[in-house]
Structure 1
């Protein structure tokens, strides 16, 4: 695709499938944390781990230890055309560019946001999942997990009617189908042409481009964790926990993250990045009001959220 090329890479592809992260220096430590989780908890992996960026990333011993492929993309021609802000940087659009740019290397790609937490799951099998010819497998966004018939707010500026709407933090990509449908070109062109209307940046562009043409996966593959869902999580055998929103277990003082999350971050940072710190458990004493609010929200929405437990018979069902 014009205006996008590989500027540098640490090595060539070794496998024909990849789990990849698209980050800048700010989110590099957290992507490395997830890559380390996968490499450690899932040693039988038959795929490359890739870090993709638009600027050089710091060196770190874990990158060699886990044989992580680092790819720097030159996409400067798109830099001024695509909207970004302090929370969602230009790196978010690299997830859209990668399947086109690395088509000769990979037939299947699994994109993960850097604020994802890996708990379990057969990732080799996930990367082989039959998507029925569709380019992307993804999980419905929270706006429709509670209200399945809701028209997404970011469809309204384009006068679009209802359509199933996914969260772009976890994307299972059939590379051949993606490129046959010119998803990269279409999504980036849409984002550039409608920069002032995009409410969710790359997520809006992808959902409009793939409207009603994507495979729905079980929410266990992208469980959006926030005050709205944290108390429901025990009902689901979650594979990837996704810490959506501005509150993260690694960057704010907020008691919304149990010790089983925070201790993995704290241990990782202490060993590999001592300059960083994570939160310390639920902090009930100081955050009691926030927990009471979350519990109240949970009680009010029981009838909206828990029916999701019946929508998929297994991790591997695709709708």
Structure 2
């Protein structure tokens, strides 16, 4: 499928890390991009921001050499049942392999609501995927209960399969395009997308239907009530703030204040017009919320340990 892409600079490598965002999420995507650039100063991959409209880059961030790309693709998702929370940019990740087929062989898509703690992204981009068109991390709902039924598979009349979170996606571009997966995703989205509970994520899972390689949860540690304390001890590479609670929107102090403090320093320097973040003290150790979270971790620890045993290293690819 031919898609018009306007880029701020040419591609410099055959691999890329790409964020898809609008103007609202752009500062947070650039924060993550800056973290990646700082950890990979001699990187052999591009860092890209993909959007549906041109976004002006702050001059202070030009040294990161981020490639800004505008993709003319909004019309593809007009019949997907969009709303204020699920806009066309939510589905932009679907078109990345086709939009960048002439530039990249491998694409690592990342959500903007993440925090980079470590990991060799060059090694991740080079992982063999056994001819699978995509690799991802299982959704946290199936970490402790791998056989949990996903409601959207039932709604679409599909058999139950392992279900991945779409916040971190490693695309094998030629394999994805050879299987015509964009066309299949658009077909499902137009005919049945309105009934999906988890929208773009379920759409991708329905399109792949088990034809994906499973990555270690270290690459997409979904920060929930039953996993966030384990993250402090296990040190995953990428923290993913799933749900509505984000470092820039945490009125009840449910997250570690570390994330908002680091983000605030970045915003104050590069996006001075951004409203200051509500920097709270964090959750009290003796609060009811903390006690409930501790109990949740205790009850889930055994099953989570069995799940993590499947990944001896962060570069282990599951079957």
Counterparts of 1:39 and 1:62, CA distance in 2: 14
Which region of structure 1 is more displaced relative to structure 2, 212-221 or 192-201? 192-201
Q: Where do 1:1-319 residues align within 5 Å? A: 1=1, 4-6=3-5, 8-274=6-272, 275-280=274-279, 283-285=282-284, 288-319=287-318
Shift of 1:118: 0.5
CA deviation vs aligned residue, 1:12-63 (integer Å, no higher than 9, x gap): 2111110000001111110010001111122121111100011221331255
Long gaps (5+) in structure 2:
none
Shift of 1:235: 4.2
CA contact (8 A) 2:218 2:314 kept: yes
CA contact (8 A) 1:139 1:166 kept: yes
Which region of structure 1 is more displaced relative to structure 2, 108-117 or 190-199? 190-199
Q: TM-score scaled by structure 2?
A: 0.94
CA contact (8 A) 1:10 1:69 kept: yes
Give the total of aligned pairs.
Answer: 317
Which region of structure 1 is more displaced relative to structure 2, 152-161 or 175-184? 152-161
CA deviation vs aligned residue, 1:246-279 (integer Å, no higher than 9, x gap): 0001123132222332221121112112323334
Shift of 1:140: 0.2
Where 2:228 maps in the other structure, the secondary structure is coil
Which region of structure 1 is more displaced relative to structure 2, 174-183 or 156-165? 156-165
Change (3 A) 1:276 1:65: farther
Q: TM-score scaled by structure 1?
A: 0.94
CA contact (8 A) 1:227 1:256 kept: no
Long gaps (5+) in structure 1:
none
CA contact (8 A) 2:116 2:237 kept: yes
Where 1:111 maps in the other structure, the secondary structure is strand
Shift of 1:193: 1.2
Where 1:169 maps in the other structure, the secondary structure is strand
Change (3 A) 1:176 1:87: same
Counterparts of 2:233 and 2:250, CA distance in 1: 27
Shift of 1:113: 0.1
Change (3 A) 1:245 1:287: farther
Counterparts of 2:72 and 2:158, CA distance in 1: 33
Which region of structure 1 is more displaced relative to structure 2, 101-110 or 8-17? 8-17
Shift of 1:158: 1.4
Shift of 1:286: 10
